[in-house]
Amino acid sequence: MIEVRLNQLVVIKDNDSQVLRLEEATPLEGKPRRLMTLVIGPTEAAEISRCIQKIEAPRPLTHQLALAIATQLGGTLQRTVIHDLRGGTFYAEMTLDGPAGAVKVDCRPSDAIALSLRAGSPVYVTEQVMAEAGAERA
């Protein structure tokens, strides 16, 4: 698995598109960093933007609520893994560690990234997905 970090969040107002770019945290020796681009929804983009800017809403929004539920039940978000790409759709799962042990939860990558940013947990991409969807950084 390859650890990635948020490289850029782009919101294009003219056509209401949101693009998230992830970058390898540590490239292979002698190789340029690879980037991966995901198109995400406006709600997830807004939450990711709030996380980047460290903005707290006066009342919990959906992603904040989900993380608060997990935390108050004794769980922690250990990691997110983007593990598959089928038909142009990325698939991810979050690993939550709680009183009953580790649990993997299927999710959209954009939701998982928003939650991981808020929780301070790492995000990974499998080599297979990075090889298929990644591009070398110029």
β-strand partners of 127 = none
pLDDT for 138 equals 66
User: SS3 for 18?
Assistant: strand
pLDDT at position 14: 66
Consecutive 10-residue averages of pLDDT for the chain (138 residues):
90 80 86 92 92 92 94 96 96 96 96 96 96 86
Q: 43: which 2 tokens?
A: 């709600």
Map out the domains of the chain as residue ranges.
2-136
CATH number of 2-136: 3.10.690.10
Q: Tell whether the torsion through CA atoms of 38, 43, 44 and 46 is positive or negative.
A: positive
- Strand-by-strand arrangement of the 2-12 sheet: 101-107, 89-98, 76-86, 123-125, 2-12, 17-24, 34-40, 135-136
**Predicted pLDDT of residue 115:** 96
Q: Residue 95: is it exposed, middle or buried by C-beta count within 10 angstroms (0-12/13-18/19+)?
A: middle
Angstrom distance (rounded) from CA 78 to CA 121: 6
Q: What is the pLDDT of residue 136?
A: 87
